């Protein structure tokens, strides 16, 4: 944050805290400084703002990265549609990998819980974790290949910069 903004931010936060105490807003998520500046808001406003169809994209897992990439890379409508499909498939595969990971942790815990260590159960759990990681690796490589194919050379150069600078991660 630029030092010149610190005073402004503190004042906006103070004013917001006063507004929240007056309006009875108990929710803190979304009540950032300047949120709906100058207007009182209550729980009904939060429900409207954070609904699955709201601005934050809570109901759609690829909304923010897609918007960010569309803006930074100046994607066409066709590219946005194709990239949405790529990101959605990757999101699904990552979610499945997380489920597999939790399942393997449970299996490992079960292998450790008995009087003797169950080598077969632990081996099966670790093997399933490796297989899940391999599927995720394949999905990431496929998503990268598809993304590369739909971008122009200038867009690829900009994407490279975003990845190297840490503004975007894969």
Record the pTM: 0.59
pLDDT at 14: 81
The reported pLDDT for the residue numbered 21 is 61
Residue 132 neighbours by CB distance under 10 Å: 19
Q: Tell me whether residue 101 is in a domain.
A: yes
**57 occurs within a structural domain:** no
Same domain, 68 and 40: no
Written as tens digits, the pLDDT of the chain (170 aa) is 677 777 777 788 887 777 666 555 544 444 544 444 444 444 444 333 333 333 443 334 445 888 889 999 999 999 999 999 999 999 999 999 999 999 999 999 999 998 999 999 999 999 999 999 999 999 999 999 999 999 999 999 999 999 999 888 87
79 and 21 both lie in a single domain: no
Q: Are 36 and 67 members of one domain?
A: no
Q: Are the C-beta atoms of 52 and 63 separated by less than 8 Å?
A: no
Q: What is the CATH number of the domain that holds 114?
A: 1.20.120.1490
The whole-angstrom separation of Cα 12 and Cα 114 is 57
Q: Please report the pLDDT score of residue 18 as a whole number.
A: 73
Q: Are residues 40 and 70 in the same domain?
A: no
Residue 81 in any domain: the answer is yes
CA distance 18 to 33: 11
Same domain, 155 and 81: yes
Name residue, tokens 């077969």: 120
Q: Judge whether 43 and 26 are in contact, CB under 8 Å.
A: yes
pLDDT of res. 24:
53
Closest residue by Cα to residue 151 from 86, 56, 62: 86
**DSSP summary character for residue 54:** S
Query: 44 and 11, same structural domain?
Result: yes
Looking at the fold, whether 119 and 78 belong to one and the same domain comes out as: yes
Q: Verify that 83 and 150 share a domain, yes or no.
A: yes
Q: Please give the pLDDT value at position 145.
A: 96
Residues 90 and 160 in one domain: yes
What's the domain count of the chain? Answer: 2
Alpha-carbon span 83 to 169, nearest angstrom: 15
The parent domain of residue 154 ranges over 63-165
158 exposure class (CB count in 10 Å sphere: 0-12, 13-18, 19+): middle
Give domain status of residue 56, yes or no.
no
């Amino acid at each position: 944050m630029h030092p010149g903004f610190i005073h402004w931010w503190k004042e906006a936060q103070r004013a917001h805290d006063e507004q929240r105490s007056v309006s009875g807003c108990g929710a803190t998520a979304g009540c950032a400084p300047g949120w709906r500046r100058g207007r009182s808001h209550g729980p009904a406003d939060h429900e409207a703002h954070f609904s699955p169809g709201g601005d934050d994209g809570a109901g759609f897992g690829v909304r923010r990265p897609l918007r960010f990439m569309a803006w930074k890379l100046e994607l066409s409508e066709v590219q946005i549609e194709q990239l949405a499909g790529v990101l959605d498939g990757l999101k699904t595969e990552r979610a499945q990998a997380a489920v597999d990971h939790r399942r393997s942790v449970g299996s490992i815990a079960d292998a450790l819980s008995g009087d003797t260590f169950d080598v077969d159960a632990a081996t099966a759990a670790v093997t399933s974790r490796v297989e899940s990681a391999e599927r995720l690796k394949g999905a990431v490589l496929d998503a990268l290949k598809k993304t590369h194919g739909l971008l122009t050379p200038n867009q690829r150069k900009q994407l490279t910069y975003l990845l190297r600078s840490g503004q975007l991660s894969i």
